[in-house]
Structures are given as structure tokens and as C-alpha cells.
Amino acid sequence: MKLGRFSDAVRYYGKVASPSLVAEALTARGHAYLNWKKFDESREEYRKVVTSYPDSPAAEEAAFSVGVSFYKEKNWASARSHLMDFAAKYPASPRIADAYLYAGWASFSLSDWPASVEFWKRHYEIQPSEDVLLRIGDAYYNSAKYAEARSYYAELMAKFPSSSKIPQALYSMALVDRKEGRLDSAAALIRRIDRDYPSSEIAPDALFTLGEIYEERNDYTSSGEIYGRIYRGYPKSKLA
């Protein structure tokens, strides 16, 4: 299946005759179809494995891959449903953390913030990462649960102090403070980004928010200086 020759892989695996290899071959053929973005065909192969060879090692991978195929097709509801079924049937699977991660993203895409939080928390228990802490915070933020959001951003910074996600966590905390009217705290967090992480991707957006905060405080001189800095310092930014 190298070099993108997925059609060749489909033809090859279709010729396998040994019963002991059929389940693996069908799963591999499903993967080939999936990489070829033929989602219906991939699911057809995976379901053959799950239905006809339910006790084979390949059945677990095939069941997981059905959910992934829906996810890659951006059919969020079906992806989540199948991934939840997979998690219920194979709770000890090596794929379980990935299933929770995908289910969380599917829920997030459906604007189901509580479900995304729940799935990502389950993922984090198995496979801790700063990215998941950030996303849990974002889901809480979108739910207007600002105290919870802030606590997860703070946890990210405490547990992963060298993470590349620190600037985003600082900015997200600033947005929380701004939402709750703590403009001085929000401005201080953004100035920290400006001081410590001026090359981060979030820096121009953070500075623009700082300019808006100055405007909200009727400090138009400072806001003008900030907007000028964005124009001069980040000429390729969409905000320049």
C-alpha cells in the first residue's frame, strides 16, 4: 500500500484464499479503501470481518476502523455512535484511548461540549497529554463554564511547563478573564505572551485582543500603539 497504490492493494487482498488470512485480508482491504477515501467500500470490508469473523483478532481493529471511517467522512454522529459501541465491546483494547479521542472530537464538532469533555477525560486517564487538557478547557469555555475552563488551562501549565501549548493556554485564560470582566488580569496574561512567546502563532491574535481591551478601557493611545505593533511586527498576519 506504499506510494498511494491503494487500488493495487485492493486487488491483491481480494485474491487471498487461505481462511486463516481472510479476516486480516479483509481488514487490510478496508484500510486500503479508507486511504483511498472510499468510505462506503471500507466499511463494507470491515463489517464483513466483524460479522463473519467476530472472534478473530482482526475483528477488533475492523470495529474500531468503522468509527474512524465515519470520522474521516465527517459524519460526526455516526462516528461517535460506532466508537462508543467499540469502547463498550472492547474496553481493554489498545485502541480504547484513540476511540475516546475521536469520540471527543466528533462530539466537539457536534457542539456537544459535555460529551466532548467526558470522552477527553477518559482519554486523558489512559494517555495524558497537554493537548487534551487544552481541548477540555476549550469545551468548558464553549459551555460558558469559565471556572472549569481556567482550571484546565492552569493544569496544563502546571503539569507541562515546557509545552508548546503554553502560549495558547495563557491566551485562553486571558479570554476567560475578559469574559468575566477581569480586564487587568487578561491584559497581564497577554503581556506575558508578548514578553515570553513573541514568536508563537497566537501572538498576533493575543496582541489584537490586548488592543481591544485597551479600547474597552477608553485607552485609545495604547490600543493604537498595539495595533501599530501588529502591523509592523506581524506583517503576514491576517490582522496586520
CATH code of residue 1 = 1.25.40
Q: Is residue 98 part of a domain?
A: no
6-48 pLDDT per residue, tens = 556 555 655 555 545 788 889 999 999 999 999 999 999 999 9
Residues 6+ apart with CB under 8 A from 207: 190, 194, 226, 229, 230, 234
Q: What are phi and psi of 205, to 5 degrees?
A: -65, -40
149-177 pLDDT per residue, tens = 999 999 999 999 999 999 999 999 999 99
Place 237 in a pLDDT band, splitting at 50, 70 and 90. Answer: confident
Among positive and negative, which fits the CA dihedral 172, 174, 177, 179?
Answer: negative
Q: What is the pLDDT of residue 5?
A: 59
| CATH code: domain of residue 235 | 1.25.40.10
Q: Is residue 110 part of a domain?
A: no
What the block records as the C-alpha cell of 137 is 478547557
Q: Is residue 215 part of a domain?
A: yes
For the chain, what percent of residues have pLDDT higher than 90?
A: 84
Q: What is the pLDDT of residue 2?
A: 47
Q: What is the pLDDT of residue 137?
A: 98
Reported pTM: 0.88
CB 144 within 8 A of CB 118: no
For the chain, what percent of residues have pLDDT higher than 70?
A: 91
User: Which of 24, 42, 62 represents a domain boundary (last residue)?
Assistant: 62
Q: Is the pLDDT of residue 205 over 70?
A: yes
Q: What is the pLDDT of residue 234?
A: 87
Q: What is the pLDDT of residue 13?
A: 56
The neighbour count for residue 118, using CB atoms within 10 Å, is: 17
Q: What are phi and psi of 91, to 5 degrees?
A: -65, -20
Place 143 in a pLDDT band, splitting at 50, 70 and 90. Answer: very high
Q: Is residue 224 part of a domain?
A: yes
Q: Is residue 194 part of a domain?
A: yes
Q: Is residue 236 part of a domain?
A: yes
Q: Is residue 119 part of a domain?
A: no
Q: What's the per-residue H, E or C state across 21-76?
A: HHHHHHHHHHHHHHHCCCHHHHHHHHHHHHHHCCCCHHHHHHHHHHHHHHHHCCCH
Mean pLDDT of 207-223: 96
Q: Which residue has the cell 467526558?
A: 118
Average pLDDT over all residues of the chain: 92
User: Which of 62, 88, 105 represents a domain boundary (last residue)?
Assistant: 62
- In DSSP notation, 181-222 reads T-HHHHHHHHHHHHHH-TTSTTHHHHHHHHHHHHHHTT-HHH
Distance CA 212, CA 196 (A): 21
Number of structural domains the chain divides into: 2
Q: Which domain holds residue 53?
A: 1-62
Q: Is residue 122 part of a domain?
A: no
Q: Is the pLDDT of residue 76 over 70?
A: yes
The neighbour count for residue 18, using CB atoms within 10 Å, is: 8
